[in-house]
Amino acid sequence: MNAFPSAPQLPTLQPLRIGNVPIDFPIVQAALSGYSDLPMRLLARRHGAGYAICEVMLDQFLLAVKKRQKTKHFLTIHPDEAPVGGQLMGAEPEQFAAGALRLVEAGFDVIDINFGCPVKKVLGRCRGGFHLSQPAVAIEIIRRTRDMVPDHIPVTVKMRRGIDDTQQSRDQFFEILDGGFDAGIAAVTVHGRTVEQRYIGPSRWEFLREVKQHIGPDRVVLGSGDLFRAEDCLRMIAETGIDGVTVARGAIGNPWIFAQARALAEGRPLPPPPTLHQQADVMRQHFDLCEQTYGEDRAPLLMRKFCIKYTASHPRMDEVRSSFTRMRSREAFDAALAQHYTEDAPGQYPPREVHRTQSEG
């Protein structure tokens, strides 16, 4: 890819509107399966994300979920995180629409339909990215969802650029895109990889430019794929003309990416990576939120994967990571911070290669 554009080429970022929902900054936290729960979303918002989307939920799960301690967190929204999107995935149009209504009842401000997940078990059950191979069913899901959801709640769609790189797949993508806007979606998020690619190979940002040119200036397009640094976010907007971007793997253990992007968008220098004391402070906030959300018993195991990602900002990343890989208690967490974060020092920007294994839709 080209180098990050010099200052005169930086785009002037405008606030977004997704339907009637205002988004003050067009760089947002994407839905990430197994990650973008309440604690991660709230920290992203506190660090400057204009909007955040919950981890994807199955329609069948939503129709069955009860307000038990073990599952109620899926539908819990913090007062400080609005606006927040609820992402939904399923197979059958009627059940899909009913699941969307559960998200509305829970208080989500936007309902996002997942037609992008490339995970094999999801595809095998005719969900996620599988729908890109069947435009009629995909459009019916959108129509039924839009009909079920109250008019004041926007409905959006997340897509990849197709099942594969065949002409048929391309035609199906644009059939669903056009049909979705005809059915009343308020915005589309497009990932620049195919379903077949999963997370391998570069994301084709030039395809995002095609999509924006196809649907015109009055319809909202957000982009996704290979956004691991703040400058990547602004560069994607500058190179493609899209309206905003959703940061997925690049935000795991790195909520600072949003504040860094805001600084660049305002013409200020790129802020330095957070110091070790700043990192430790945010990690403690994250652990506290995790305990409040899941309870003290479950929080340590759930925090382990996040702590491992936070270590990417530590200059001794590999050494520090090993202190969290077997973490099973708050005491072990505190001990790791005491060992590696007590003495303050400059941090580092996370190496790009650490992001290659997480799942995004």
Residue 197: which pLDDT band, with cuts at 50, 70 and 90?
Answer: confident
Q: Residue 1: inside a domain, yes or no?
A: no
Per the listing, tokens 């936290």 go with 29
Q: Are residues 241 and 280 in the same domain?
A: no
Q: Residue 270: inside a domain, yes or no?
A: no
Residue 191 scores a pLDDT above 80: yes
Residue 357 scores a pLDDT above 70: no
Q: Are residues 28 and 120 in the same domain?
A: yes
Q: Residue 213: inside a domain, yes or no?
A: yes
Q: Residue 314: inside a domain, yes or no?
A: yes
Q: Residue 2: inside a domain, yes or no?
A: no
Residue 4 scores a pLDDT above 60: no
pLDDT score recorded for residue 59: 73
Strand partners, 28: 246
Q: Are residues 259 and 306 in the same domain?
A: no
Among candidate residues 265, 296, 330, the one where a domain is terminated: 265
In 37-186, where do the E strands start and end?
A: 52-53, 57-58, 84-89, 110-115, 155-160
Among candidate residues 205, 231, 265, the one where a domain is terminated: 265
pLDDT score recorded for residue 124: 54
Say if residue 54 is exposed, middle or buried (CB neighbours under 10 Å; 0-12, 13-18, 19+): buried
196 against 5, higher pLDDT: 196
Q: Are residues 153 and 247 in the same domain?
A: yes
Q: Are residues 16 and 68 in the same domain?
A: yes
pLDDT tens digits for 295-341? 999 999 999 999 999 999 999 999 999 999 999 999 999 999 999 99
Q: Of all residues in the chain, what percent carry a pLDDT higher than 90? A: 74
pLDDT score recorded for residue 74: 84
What whole-number distance in Å separates Cα of residue 249 and Cα of residue 36? 10
Among candidate residues 265, 287, 312, the one where a domain is terminated: 265
pLDDT score recorded for residue 352: 79
| Active-site hit among 54, 117, 290, 307 | 117
Name the residue among 69, 66, 146 with its Cα closest to residue 110. Answer: 146
Q: Are residues 43 and 118 in the same domain?
A: yes
Which amino acid makes up residue 192? G
The domain containing residue 109 runs over which residues?
7-265
Q: Are residues 63 and 174 in the same domain?
A: yes
Q: Are residues 294 and 237 in the same domain?
A: no
Q: What is the pTM of this model?
A: 0.92
Residue 358 scores a pLDDT above 90: no
pLDDT tens digits for 32-82? 989 999 999 999 999 999 999 999 888 777 877 765 555 677 889 999 999
305 against 93, higher pLDDT: 305
pLDDT score recorded for residue 359: 44
Q: Are residues 316 and 239 in the same domain?
A: no
Strand partners, 58: 89
Q: Residue 151: inside a domain, yes or no?
A: yes
- Answer whether the bond into residue 83 is a cis peptide, omega within 30°: yes
pLDDT score recorded for residue 2: 39
C-alpha dist (Å) from residue 158 to 66, 224, 286: 27, 9, 27
Report the alpha-carbon angle 98-103-109, nearest 5. 130
Q: Residue 129: inside a domain, yes or no?
A: yes
Q: Which of 27-36, 130-139, 215-224, 259-268 has the lowest mean pLDDT?
A: 130-139
Q: Are residues 240 and 280 in the same domain?
A: no
Q: Which of 87-91, 337-341, 342-346 has the lowest mean pLDDT?
A: 87-91
Strand partners, 305: none
Q: Which of 4-8, 161-165, 293-297 has the lowest mean pLDDT?
A: 4-8
126 is catalytic: no
Residue 7 scores a pLDDT above 50: no
In the chain, where do the E strands start and end?
A: 16-18, 21-23, 27-29, 52-53, 57-58, 84-89, 110-115, 155-160, 187-191, 220-224, 244-247
pLDDT score recorded for residue 120: 65
Residue 22: which pLDDT band, with cuts at 50, 70 and 90?
Answer: very high
pLDDT score recorded for residue 36: 95
Q: Are residues 246 and 290 in the same domain?
A: no
Query: Please, what is the average pLDDT of the chain?
Result: 90
The total of structural domains in the chain comes to 2
Q: Are residues 223 and 106 in the same domain?
A: yes
- Answer whether the bond into residue 269 is a cis peptide, omega within 30°: no
Kindly report the backbone phi and psi dihedral angles of residue 189, in degrees, each rounded to the nearest multiple of 5, phi listed first.
-110, 130
Say if residue 325 is exposed, middle or buried (CB neighbours under 10 Å; 0-12, 13-18, 19+): exposed
Q: Residue 358: inside a domain, yes or no?
A: no
The CATH number of the domain where 28 resides is what?
3.20.20.70
